[in-house]
Structure 1
Amino acid sequence: MEYARDDLPVLVVGAGPTGLTAALELSRLGIAVRIVDAALEPSTTSRALGVQARTLELLRPRGVGDELVALGNRASRTALHAAGHRLASIEFTGMPSQFDYILLLAQSETERVLAEQLGRQGVKVERGIRFTTLTERCDSVAVVLTARDGATETVDASYVIAADGSHSPIRKHLGLPFTGRSLPQQYVLGDVRLHGDLAEDQLSIFLATRGFLAVFPLGDKRFRLMATDPDGLTGDRDEPTLDDVQALFDRAVGRPVRLCELDWSSRFRINSRHLETLRHGRVFFGGDSAHVHSPAGGQGMNAGIQDMVNLSWKLAMVLRGTARPELLDTYESDRLPVIRQLVAMTERATRVFNSTNLLAHAVLTRVAPLVLASARVQGKAAPRLGQLSASYRRAPLASGGGRLGGLRAGDRVPDAELAGGGRLYDLLDTAAPTLLVSGPTPDEARRIANAVGPWADVVGVRTVDLPAAVAAPPGWLLVRPDGYLAAAGPSGDVRRLHGWLERWLTTPA
């Protein structure tokens, strides 16, 4: 039996977006948490830029989504160009979300917003502290931390969340294989101000016979440029110069555009790797410590944030004693298939865009307009990029969960606008599942509510007129705190509801 130590804090190692989200969620849910980071100061560089629709849907009811939106720049499409012509685009405005765009915001700003909210919840990042070693016990983890001055401390933690980056010391200490490959292409990044005619409301990708260049608008004529440099046009400087970035821009874009005010530049290669397990005893992995991949589509930071939203409510319920310990295993069974798909998708996209084969380039520039002209392709591509289409249907937590209308257990429940005002996610308890009852007779409603039975103090019941975009009443939806469907059924099917609650939650004494 796995014992839960709710008298010990959860230790989060790493204060990037993944670790900050974990600490934010756990502290908000009343769980004691410590978060440490080896860096003395927060990062000031932009790094990851894209905040996807699904991430914003999850962060809005958690108190930070609106602030991020106010700070960022919205991109309504990704446009492909070649040889001076626009070939095609993927339009985001048709995505089934309130946030029908990609929000472009420097990672340093996203981290600042998360850290400030974390501070308002009474938790401060402890900086200049690095992980040294850990020892797992039956009901806790002993972690040795080392401060900047060499002083060591042994922390007893109920669980550890490894959000310590792609070179994760915790992952290496435990000897976990990080399977995958290093891709051969070299990339150049640069944050610049741009003078010329280039759209500020879209991502622009310029395909050339010598690789590609992507342009991400940050607002106020500031842009992030990312380019391949297959033949070493810019040499091997770790920090390419403004002239280097201009040369790559001119070669790929071919427009009279002048770059200036280089704020930051870098050179990197891509690793495409992931863990085969997201859990080692009482240690959980998320974000770059668990998966790294191409930046194609701006997926990485968002995946890490969503990892932690998935994990935190489960961990909090187990620590509070309201859920069975087996619920923690569903973090891996939910997220690992999504991660595998994400790594494979970004690697395929990278191979296509990076190709310097003349025939492959010619085929791509001719086929892309035809493929992206399809409404069916548009309908799938944008939600996938916005991470709205990720589903846990085949995961154990959705097994036997049923369906209502087009929604099946494991699906994302749309954060639809409600007829009386507000949005569906505003009805959800972000600490435990919420039962939404829609359209039954009074007797049916009572029978559904009674099925909650001994879990009435844990599971909130809400009566709501579900929009047609969500599900067709009469019936019920048991919605997880992360907005995914746990179980569902028509009004007469309450045994399925009772069965899910009995399988995953504890029965009060």
Structure 2
Amino acid sequence: MTGSLESPGVLVVGAGPTGLTAAMELSRLGVAVRIVDRAPEPSPTSRALGVQARTLELLRVRGVGDELLRAGNRASATTLYARGRRLAALHFDRMASDFNFILLLAQSETERLLAEQLATQGVKVERGVEVVGLQQGPGDVQVRLRTTHGDQETVTAAYVIAADGAHSPIRKALGLPFEGRSMTHNYVLGDVHLVGGVPEDQLSIFLAPNGFLAVFPMGDGRFRFMATDPDGLAGEAPEPDLTAIQRLYDRVAPIRAELYELNWSSRFRINSRHMTTLRSGRVFFGGDAAHVHSPAGGQGMNAGIQDMINLAWKLAMVLDGRAHEHLLDTYETDRLPVITQLVRMTERATTLFNSTNPVAHAALTALAPRLLGRSAVQDKAVPRLGQLAATYRNAPLAAGGGRTGSLRAGDRVPDSEVTTVAGEHRRLYDLLDLSRLTLLTATGDAPEQYLNIVAVQHVSAGVDGWWLVRPDGYLAAAGRAGDQRTMTRWLDRWFIPRSAATG
């Protein structure tokens, strides 16, 4: 097996989108990292499909977003159909982002692009390697690994990231709860091609009292189907055939279409669960290991990627002595409220859309056009789907950070256009130093003792006063020009001044 980690280092367990993002971020930040996965090969199936606006904003500046955009198919809306007609639509172009759409791309392709970026940073996924033992000490974690050939080694890591899936062996070994429930419906899933009038630039959702069907366009005539089958129309085969999926489609969809070339199919049941903590000592949890929920709205994979972008910069700054260890506690206090809200939101949406109760169905189909016809409803719902509305403003890391205009500490900073003092028009995120905090200001500078923590970008337009922006694109603190006290107080709480770090 590969040699041991340099010390200190991080072991990432699981090479799905969550684990790959963790390893990519940590290695880019100079942290020694290994990533292992017990599967001998990457999964070839598409599974998660939607890459949301917030994820694209964060991955673009990390070298992956442009490739994702080239490979994926853009959907500009989600359209609801029922009673044989179009009811209403959610329009993603209302999102205040350059990525005002949902990008539809097979998870296998997302993983491939993340793994390729990781490889350019000098890290390769070690496959066919599983964790068979874990013991935490006061300053490290001893992890026993075993290959499919039976070879074993013990790795010493400063921290472990468990991104090992919904059945996380690490979570189970530590005896941590995974609270929630299994939802009632069984689902049929399939990737097919079709000829017909189903749009390729929108998600199509068909509602009926005897079944629900969602159709996701993946480009070039290929679609993902997800359907309930409450009365067993598709039979009981674990991998329904093309005829069965055509029957499910014909039952609820008013748009004529002929399905062909079934690539794969399966059945699944939705679990709606999440951990009550994201940390156990030196082990952190993210992605499906920490939260699983309905695929409604394409939220899960994005949440896992954003888990790791939140965690990685904090780990890197603690490991190199620039931040206090208690900064790591803010991973949980930032992300757990977002995850809890996400699980509840997707569970409610699934219960509503999948209901076979005639009264509930009639109410939904009557109210949907009225509600989605309101601009206020669209303006609230669409940013939530794009994960632009998620905020950490009530978390401890935002406390005392102040505000600027409508932005409060902990809010997402929009990737808007700013003007540098040299007169250049730049995207705000292109000015961020992703390895430390970035101070955007027209005048002034960072406190001298924190110049190893804060990069300074002088801008002449687009920023009021000064903004201190986190590497994950959220506002850390803000204030009026000349008000350095707010900034210093906030930095003092979480970070180690240069004199203390070096002396």
TM category, shorter: over 0.9
Matched, 1:464 2:454: no
| Structure 2 counterpart of 1:454 | 449
Q: Conserved in 1, the CA contact under 8 Å of 2:162 and 2:168? A: yes
Q: 1:408-463, CA deviations, whole angstroms, 9 ceiling, x for partnerless residues?
A: 1000000112343331001101011111103xxxxxx23xx1x5220112211111
Q: Within 5 Å, which residues of 2 pair with 1:59-138? A: 59-138=59-138
Q: CA deviation at 1:262?
A: 0.2
Inter-partner Cα distance in structure 2 for 1:30 and 1:345? 37
Matched, 1:500 2:495: no
Pick closer, same or farther for the CA change 1:422–1:276 going to 2, 3 Å.
Answer: same
Q: Conserved in 2, the CA contact under 8 Å of 1:6 and 1:319? A: no
| Structure 1 counterpart of 2:436 | 432
Percentage of identical aligned residues: 66
| Structure 1 counterpart of 2:406 | 406
The residue identity in structure 2 corresponding to 1:500 is W
Unaligned runs of 5+ in 2: none
Q: 1:25-71, CA deviations, whole angstroms, 9 ceiling, x for partnerless residues?
A: 00000000000000111111000000000000000000000100011
Q: CA deviation at 1:140?
A: 0.4
Inter-partner Cα distance in structure 2 for 1:289 and 1:205? 29
Q: Within 5 Å, which residues of 2 pair with 1:165-314? A: 165-314=165-314
| Structure 2 counterpart of 1:441 | none
Unaligned runs of 5+ in 1: 439-444
Inter-partner Cα distance in structure 2 for 1:269 and 1:208? 19
Inter-partner Cα distance in structure 2 for 1:23 and 1:339? 21
Q: CA deviation at 1:9?
A: 2.0
Q: CA deviation at 1:464?
A: 1.1
Q: Conserved in 1, the CA contact under 8 Å of 2:8 and 2:319? A: no
The residue identity in structure 2 corresponding to 1:149 is H
Q: Conserved in 1, the CA contact under 8 Å of 2:85 and 2:254? A: no
The residue identity in structure 2 corresponding to 1:288 is D
Q: CA deviation at 1:208?
A: 0.7
Matched, 1:485 2:480: no
The residue identity in structure 2 corresponding to 1:352 is L
Q: CA deviation at 1:211?
A: 2.5
Q: Conserved in 2, the CA contact under 8 Å of 1:189 and 1:226? A: yes
Q: CA deviation at 1:152?
A: 1.3
Matched, 1:36 2:36: yes
| Structure 1 counterpart of 2:326 | 326
* Aligned partner of residue 223 in structure 1, secondary structure: strand
The residue identity in structure 2 corresponding to 1:481 is P
The residue identity in structure 1 corresponding to 2:208 is A
Question: Pairwise CA RMSD of aligned residues?
Answer: 1.1
**What's the TM-score once normalised by structure 2's chain length?**
0.96
Q: CA deviation at 1:6?
A: 7.6
Inter-partner Cα distance in structure 1 for 2:494 and 2:142? 28
| Structure 1 counterpart of 2:158 | 158
| Structure 2 counterpart of 1:442 | none
* Aligned partner of residue 111 in structure 1, secondary structure: helix
Inter-partner Cα distance in structure 1 for 2:6 and 2:459? 35
Inter-partner Cα distance in structure 2 for 1:231 and 1:174? 40
Inter-partner Cα distance in structure 2 for 1:466 and 1:309? 28
Q: CA deviation at 1:372?
A: 0.5
Q: Within 5 Å, which residues of 2 pair with 1:341-490? A: 341-419=341-419, 420-438=424-442, 445-446=443-444, 449=445, 451-467=446-462, 473=464, 475-490=465-480
Q: CA deviation at 1:83?
A: 2.0
Inter-partner Cα distance in structure 2 for 1:263 and 1:9? 41
* Aligned partner of residue 61 in structure 2, secondary structure: helix
Report the count of equivalent residues. 491
* Aligned partner of residue 10 in structure 1, secondary structure: strand
Inter-partner Cα distance in structure 1 for 2:425 and 2:237? 55
Q: Conserved in 2, the CA contact under 8 Å of 1:6 and 1:158? A: no
Inter-partner Cα distance in structure 2 for 1:191 and 1:288? 22
Q: CA deviation at 1:466?
A: 4.0
Q: Conserved in 2, the CA contact under 8 Å of 1:403 and 1:488? A: yes
Q: Conserved in 2, the CA contact under 8 Å of 1:6 and 1:320? A: no
Inter-partner Cα distance in structure 1 for 2:379 and 2:295? 22
Inter-partner Cα distance in structure 2 for 1:267 and 1:155? 37
* Aligned partner of residue 215 in structure 1, secondary structure: strand
Inter-partner Cα distance in structure 2 for 1:162 and 1:267? 26
The residue identity in structure 2 corresponding to 1:50 is G
Q: Conserved in 2, the CA contact under 8 Å of 1:210 and 1:230? A: yes
Q: 1:382-409, CA deviations, whole angstroms, 9 ceiling, x for partnerless residues?
A: 1000000000000000001001111110
The residue identity in structure 1 corresponding to 2:452 is D
Inter-partner Cα distance in structure 2 for 1:332 and 1:411? 16
* Aligned partner of residue 422 in structure 1, secondary structure: strand
**Which region of structure 1 is more displaced relative to structure 2, 311-320 or 81-90?**
81-90
Q: Conserved in 1, the CA contact under 8 Å of 2:198 and 2:255? A: no
The residue identity in structure 2 corresponding to 1:454 is Q
Inter-partner Cα distance in structure 2 for 1:457 and 1:326? 19
Inter-partner Cα distance in structure 2 for 1:287 and 1:188? 23
Q: CA deviation at 1:91?
A: 0.3
